[in-house]
Amino acid sequence: MGFRFRLASFFVVALILVQGLTGVLVYQVTRHELIGEGQRQLQESAQSFAHQFQDMSDRAAASVQVLALDFALRSAVAQRDEATLTSALRNHGRRVGATQMLVIGVDGRVEVDTAGQLAAGTPFPHADLVERALQAPAAATVTWKQRAYWMVVVPVFAPDLVGYIGAAIPVDDRVLARLQQQSALPDSIELAAADASGRLVVLARGRDPSQLAVPLAARGSLPTAPVVVDVGGREFVSQAVWLRGARHSPRVAAVLGFSVDEALRPYRPVAAAWAGLLAFGLTVGLVCAWLIARSVSRPIEELAALARRIASGDYSPPEAPARTDELGQLANAFGNMAHAIREREARILHQAGHDHVTGLPNRAYTETAIQHALAARPDGTAALLMLGLGRLPEIIKTLGHVVSDRLMHEAGVRLQQPADSGLVARATDTQLSIFLPGAGRGEAIEVAHRIVEALGEPYREADLTLDFAPAVGIALAPQHGTDASGLLRRAEVAMLGALHSDDPTALYDPSTDPHRPERLSLMADLRHALENEGISLHYQPKLNLREGRIDSAEGLIRWRHPIVGPVAPDAFIALAEETGNIRRVTRWALGAGIAQAGRWKAEGHAVRLSINVSARDLDSPDLPARINELLRVHAVAPAQIVLEITESAIMGKPEAAIAVLRRLADDGIDLAIDDFGVGQSSFAYLRRLPVRELKIDKTFITHLAHSREDRIIVSSIVELGHHLGYRVTAEGVDDAAALDYLREIGCDHAQGYLIAPPLAVDDFGRLLNTARWPLPAATET
């Protein structure tokens, strides 16, 4: 429900409640007053009815007394002339309205009954009336066969007491109606008395047929004071009056009732008029309430719409309100708020999208702008240049960020002209980017050269002269990427390459990118292969040149990727080195190689197995203990294992590496220097290393048959190794001439594709079963 509807509903409901409460209050007050007035009138009517009823009874008694004074009747009574008595009593009874005339003897027994209901000699049932008749005519209201009668008894003297005349005058509905006509009595009058079983019986009833006596009796007893009673859904004020009766007859009560509903009847037109006024008032009130609610809610609705517009980002000022009240002031406040929010949001958006040092757009703003520009061009052609300042890290460390910030600001200013219409932005703390929509390779390279030229002039500040040392990396769309983040990353890769080269500009080359996403996926796949036996060891035989047989081998890891197929060892070994997973690879290679050496030993083959160890493995002081545990588990002698290390592995942390190597040598494990001759400063540590073998790098062996220099170098290395007590192995032996020369100069072992490529374990096992390696015919003597 809207505010307008609720406000209008409030007014209407309030009006209904007020009118309803007023009507209920008026009705209750009127009803209360009518009941009170009815009770007072009923008390008066009850007293009046009792008096009138008694008067009628007394008049009936007087009439009967006149009859008793008749001489002929007295004579008949004295003479006991039954026929005369009966005729006279009937005639006189009709005159007084009696339905039964009696002659009662002095002894109280009935002598004559004109109705024939009481037999002669029957005791008169109302003896107390006979006793009272001697003083004055006795009259009482009695019941007989569920009817009410005035029973009148008068004495007969002739001149002495000779008997009594009794008259039974019925009190029926007509008598009560006559009483109601003669005076202002209520319409509801009933005569009631208890029958032989004690149940209340209505003997006579007035003009209103409503039954009051029975409901009143059901409450316990007939009330002698006015009470309110519900009869058939109608309310009555009712009261009972006990009539004078005889001793041996049930007492008769007159029950009078005053109808509250009838009393309220005159007020019904007033109630109808009030209901009409209420309906009219409600209609008028509803219309007025709706108009008032509309006048109040419309400005609020307009303010709500304004608030929604502000929430959606539309801060245009609203129209000036035409009113000056509180709502108008609120509308003015909303307008001022919208203006303030618009200015504040503009500042926030600018700060969020720009660098506070250079004033240039930041990386987030740049990415969004690049993405929109690429989407707007059908071909998606663009170039992104990433500018790095080679001297900036040193400047920050030496002079701090304050000077570096000024240097970056100056660089941003200088870029505006060579960038022409491109978007210049700050990509990182030390890098700026230039986006050239629609530019191709040639234009991008030209702009890069202009940028380098613009930053060729040093930055001068007071007594400082600082070189920018710019380097620009270029990424092209869509060749190198179709989204902003990809172009920024590849331009940065190209820029890093330019920083370490003589040319200050570089175009992104995917083949030299060390951060390709597929390499990350490859590393995850390598870990999975290590855990699920997805890699294997192949064994390249090493020929003992003196004996002409295979007596050792080098374990080389091979990986067949389930999707891309065989993966070159150089690719994933280098990646494992970079990501720190090389230790996992080495642990697996040691475990698999030593286990295989144990199996060969069990088969009777004394094969010395070489396994490569990386520089990171030499940082681990627990490497000797781990190898010894593997040797113990697989029952392999330490002399059967040779660990190959590169010169670069020793150069990284020489002291820690030499300590680990000495522990390995003390355990009886032979060590070999791999790729000997291409390392740096190896001779400085050679005398300190506990090695037993030198492996001549294949770069010296490949052209051995045709290069005099390579022959001299190889011969010198073999001579040096033998003088130091080392075995010497030549790697990369691929032709027979090289093999002949190596055997001629006394090289100990040869390894290469001429002897055999790296073999699977089954193929290598079949080679071991050959007693001697089949030397080529050219080498036989």
**Helix ranges restricted to H, 552-677:** 569-579, 582-602, 615-618, 623-634, 647-652, 654-666
- Report how far residue 375's alpha carbon sits from residue 487's, in angstroms, rounded to the nearest whole number: 14
- Report how far residue 244's alpha carbon sits from residue 60's, in angstroms, rounded to the nearest whole number: 14
Compute and round to an integer the Cα radius of gyration of the chain.
67
pLDDT computed for residue 324 by the predictor: 67
Range from 24-38, 67-81, 703-717 that averages highest in pLDDT:
703-717
pLDDT higher than 80, residue 320:
no
- Report how far residue 82's alpha carbon sits from residue 80's, in angstroms, rounded to the nearest whole number: 6
Contact 243, 253 (CB under 8 A): yes
pLDDT computed for residue 772 by the predictor: 61
- Report how far residue 72's alpha carbon sits from residue 536's, in angstroms, rounded to the nearest whole number: 162
pLDDT tens-digit map of 49-63: 788 888 888 888 888
pLDDT higher than 70, residue 780:
no
pLDDT tens-digit map of 660-696: 889 999 999 999 988 887 755 456 666 778 889 999 9
Between 313 and 707, name the one with better pLDDT.
707
Contact 426, 404 (CB under 8 A): no
Between 344 and 610, name the one with better pLDDT.
610
- Report how far residue 615's alpha carbon sits from residue 631's, in angstroms, rounded to the nearest whole number: 22
pLDDT computed for residue 715 by the predictor: 95
pLDDT tens-digit map of 520-551: 677 777 787 877 778 899 999 999 999 888 99
Please give the average per-residue pLDDT across 264-277, as a whole number: 76
Contact 537, 594 (CB under 8 A): no
Query: pLDDT confidence of 777, banded at 50, 70, 90?
Result: very low
Task: Give the rounded distance of the alpha carbon of 662 from its chain centre.
Answer: 65
Helix axes 82-96, 71-79, angle to 10 degrees: 140
- Report how far residue 477's alpha carbon sits from residue 440's, in angstroms, rounded to the nearest whole number: 8
As a whole number of Å, the end-to-end CA separation of the chain is 112
DSSP 52-98: HHHHHHHHHHHHHHHHHT-HHHHHHHHHT-HHHHHHHHHHHHHHHT-
pLDDT computed for residue 242 by the predictor: 85
pLDDT computed for residue 652 by the predictor: 61
3-state secondary structure of 682: helix
- What are the C-alpha distances in Å from 387 to residues 411, 449, 476? 10, 11, 15
Quick count: other Cβ atoms within 10 Å of Cβ 760? 12
Question: Which of 254-268, 369-383, 660-674 is least confident?
Answer: 254-268
Question: Which of 145-149, 185-189, 471-475, 584-588 is least confident?
Answer: 185-189
Q: Please, how many CA atoms are within 13 Å of residue 486, restricted to the half-sphere of its CB?
A: 14
Which residue from 310, 367, 307 is spatially nearest to 344, judged by alpha carbons? Answer: 310
Residue 258: its H or E element = strand 253-259
Please name the residue that has the structure tokens 């200088």. Answer: 414
pLDDT computed for residue 747 by the predictor: 96
Between 244 and 288, name the one with better pLDDT.
244
pLDDT tens-digit map of 386-429: 888 888 888 888 888 888 888 888 888 888 888 877 888 888 88
Contact 753, 734 (CB under 8 A): yes
- Report how far residue 310's alpha carbon sits from residue 304's, in angstroms, rounded to the nearest whole number: 10
pLDDT computed for residue 778 by the predictor: 36
* Helix (H), strand (E), coil (C) string for 356-384: CCCCCECHHHHHHHHHHHHHHCCCCCEEE
- Report how far residue 30's alpha carbon sits from residue 22's, in angstroms, rounded to the nearest whole number: 12
Query: pLDDT confidence of 596, banded at 50, 70, 90?
Result: very high
Domains of the chain are 42-271 (3.30.450.20), 313-352 (no CATH), 354-510 (3.30.70.270), 518-766 (3.20.20.450)
- Report how far residue 395's alpha carbon sits from residue 591's, in angstroms, rounded to the nearest whole number: 50
pLDDT computed for residue 776 by the predictor: 47
pLDDT higher than 90, residue 632:
yes
Q: Mention every residue, 6+ apart, whose C-beta is less than 8 A from residue 199.
A: none
Amino acid at 198: G
Please give the average per-residue pLDDT across 581-601, as a whole number: 90
- Report how far residue 408's alpha carbon sits from residue 760's, in angstroms, rounded to the nearest whole number: 59
pLDDT higher than 90, residue 749:
yes
Between 491 and 580, name the one with better pLDDT.
491
Quick count: other Cβ atoms within 10 Å of Cβ 107? 11
**Averaged confidence pLDDT in the chain:** 82
Please name the residue that has the structure tokens 């990509």. Answer: 427
DSSP state of 777: G
Which residue from 42, 44, 32 is spatially nearest to 264, judged by alpha carbons? Answer: 32
Q: Please, how many CA atoms are within 13 Å of residue 507, restricted to the half-sphere of its CB?
A: 13
Q: Mention every residue, 6+ apart, whose C-beta is less than 8 A from residue 387.
A: 411, 415, 431, 432, 433, 434, 451, 455, 470, 471, 472, 495
Range from 1-10, 108-117, 567-576, 709-718 that averages highest in pLDDT:
709-718
Contact 95, 63 (CB under 8 A): yes
Beta strands 535-544; 549-561: pairing state: antiparallel
Please give the average per-residue pLDDT across 571-587, as a whole number: 79
Please give the average per-residue pLDDT across 211-236, as a whole number: 77
pLDDT computed for residue 679 by the predictor: 58
- Report how far residue 496's alpha carbon sits from residue 491's, in angstroms, rounded to the nearest whole number: 9
- What are the C-alpha distances in Å from 571 to residues 514, 519, 520, 577, 685? 11, 9, 12, 10, 29
**Phi and psi of 153, rounded to 5°?**
-125, 125
Please give the average per-residue pLDDT across 767-774, as a whole number: 69
Query: pLDDT confidence of 630, banded at 50, 70, 90?
Result: very high
pLDDT higher than 90, residue 627:
yes
Please name the residue that has the structure tokens 């409460």. Answer: 21
- Report how far residue 537's alpha carbon sits from residue 556's, in angstroms, rounded to the nearest whole number: 5
Q: Please, how many CA atoms are within 13 Å of residue 51, restricted to the half-sphere of its CB?
A: 9
DSSP state of 245: B
Contact 434, 427 (CB under 8 A): no
Q: Please, how many CA atoms are within 13 Å of residue 535, restricted to the half-sphere of its CB?
A: 27
Amino acid at 593: G
